[in-house]
């Protein structure tokens, strides 16, 4: 849990740099499989997770690296997992969509859209029964809010006053479909009222606004006052996956959202409002880039899982 603005900036930079370097590996044809880029959404993960403790739970989705890193997953094992290597946090068995670190409350990504919601509710129920004040956070996209698990989770969380925070990162598109073509009400948060759940709509590109709203939700959950639905309005800079030709939206729209870059915006805030010296930020930026480059080298140099271990950790 951090309050320090430099630490928040560092966390956003780490995500930004990881995404950039992974995209680079993909462009060089070195990356195995898909990349679901988190570029552009950094303020969401950092704003929410910076207010959590290690004992709080986070359930992620298919676009999970921002969540993993913001909740504290170690960089090298995270990177190695993305490349399916034996040194990965899950021994290379999870890959790009399924990293987990239960010791930090990171219960895992999920390639099944919406499936993380009931898992998060289960973790919230466990936290409630433990009585130690932990909360559970589920990250999901606006597309997932059209899955039945969304309503079922909100309903049971409200009925049982679970310490659950449902974080919808509304980045406007589910795969190639604009969200507005799939709903009669474009604000996901508006649906919370019908379930008796508190909600807020937040600028998802403003890390301080996200952090403040998440803080209110966490306080409510820890106090035993039940769940909150946060809708963070944001944008994914890349396609649904790297290589997606993005024919369903315009380059102008992308440029408009890139001008609202959450990392650059917070950098301006640090310089103008917090009075941080630019040299300090430049040094930090170089250090983060070097740290990520080292993690990429570690991942590339790591072995693939040995074939004879293929059946280990297979439970069904």
Ligand X SMILES: Cc1ncc(C[n+]2csc(CCOP(=O)(O)OP(=O)(O)O)c2C)c(N)n1
> Where along the sequence are the contacts to ligand X (CB under 6 A)?
62-63, 111-114, 140-144, 171, 173-175, 240
- The overall longest dimension of the chain from CA atoms, in Å, is 57
9/173 with CB nearer ligand X: 173
9/140 with CB nearer ligand X: 140
In the complex, minimum distance from the CB of residue 62 to ligand X, in angstroms, rounded to a whole number: 5
In the complex, minimum distance from the CB of residue 273 to ligand X, in angstroms, rounded to a whole number: 30
SS3 139: strand
Euclidean distance between CA atoms 202 and 60, whole angstroms: 19
Q: With CA atoms as reference, report the closest residue to 43 among 202, 277, 179.
A: 202
111/133 with CB nearer ligand X: 111
CB 65 within 8 A of CB 78: yes
Q: What is the per-residue burial (b if ≥16 Cβ within 10 Å, else e) of 146-163?
A: bbebbeebbebbbeebbb
1/112 with CB nearer ligand X: 112
31/173 with CB nearer ligand X: 173
241/298 with CB nearer ligand X: 241
Q: With CA atoms as reference, report the closest residue to 199 among 188, 189, 186.
A: 189
CB 118 within 8 A of CB 80: no
182/297 with CB nearer ligand X: 182
In the complex, minimum distance from the CB of residue 65 to ligand X, in angstroms, rounded to a whole number: 12
By beta-carbon distance, which residue lies closest to ligand X? 141
In the complex, minimum distance from the CB of residue 249 to ligand X, in angstroms, rounded to a whole number: 12
Alpha helices per DSSP H over the chain: 5-27, 42-49, 65-70, 75-82, 116-130, 148-159, 192-195, 207-222, 251-258, 262-269, 278-301
141/204 with CB nearer ligand X: 141
In a 13 Å sphere around the CA of 275, the CA atoms on its Cβ side amount to 0
In the complex, minimum distance from the CB of residue 163 to ligand X, in angstroms, rounded to a whole number: 23
Pairing state of beta strands 164-170 and 228-233?
Answer: parallel
CB 44 within 8 A of CB 64: no
57/140 with CB nearer ligand X: 140
CB 105 within 8 A of CB 54: yes
In the complex, minimum distance from the CB of residue 26 to ligand X, in angstroms, rounded to a whole number: 17
In the complex, minimum distance from the CB of residue 277 to ligand X, in angstroms, rounded to a whole number: 36
Phi and psi at residue 231, in whole multiples of 5°?
-110, 115
Per the DSSP assignment, residues forming a β-bridge with 199 are 229
In the complex, minimum distance from the CB of residue 149 to ligand X, in angstroms, rounded to a whole number: 9
DSSP state of 225: -
In the complex, minimum distance from the CB of residue 185 to ligand X, in angstroms, rounded to a whole number: 15
């Amino acid at each position: 849990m951090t309050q320090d603005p430099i630490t928040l900036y560092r966390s956003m930079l780490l995500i930004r740099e990881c995404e950039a370097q992974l995209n680079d590996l993909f462009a060089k044809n070195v990356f195995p499989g898909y990349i679901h880029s988190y570029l552009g959404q950094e303020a969401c993960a950092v704003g929410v997770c910076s207010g959590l403790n290690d004992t709080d739970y986070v359930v992620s989705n298919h676009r999970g690296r921002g969540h993993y890193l913001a909740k504290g997953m170690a960089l090298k094992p995270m990177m190695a997992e993305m490349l399916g290597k034996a040194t990965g946090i899950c021994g290379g068995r999870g890959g790009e969509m399924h990293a987990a670190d239960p010791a930090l409350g990171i219960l895992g990504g999920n390639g099944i859209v919406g499936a993380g919601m009931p898992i998060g509710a289960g973790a919230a129920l466990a936290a409630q029964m433990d009585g130690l004040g932990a909360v559970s956070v589920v990250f999901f996209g606006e597309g997932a809010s059209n899955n039945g698990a969304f309503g079922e989770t909100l309903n049971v969380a409200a009925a049982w006053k679970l310490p659950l925070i449902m974080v919808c990162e509304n980045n406007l598109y589910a795969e190639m479909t604009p969200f507005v073509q799939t709903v009669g009400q474009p604000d996901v948060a508006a649906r919370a009222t019908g379930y008796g759940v508190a909600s807020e709509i937040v600028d998802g590109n403003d890390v301080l606004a996200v952090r403040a709203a998440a803080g209110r939700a966490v306080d409510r959950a820890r106090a035993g006052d039940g769940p909150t639905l946060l809708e963070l309005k944001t944008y994914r800079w890349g396609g649904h996956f790297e290589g997606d030709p993005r024919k369903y939206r315009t380059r102008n729209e992308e440029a408009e959202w890139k001008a609202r870059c959450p990392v650059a915006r917070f950098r301006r805030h640090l310089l103008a409002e917090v009075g941080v010296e630019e040299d300090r930020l430049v040094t930090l930026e170089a250090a983060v880039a070097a740290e990520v480059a080292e993690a990429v080298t570690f991942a590339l140099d790591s072995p693939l899982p040995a074939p004879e271990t293929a059946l280990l950790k297979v439970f069904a």
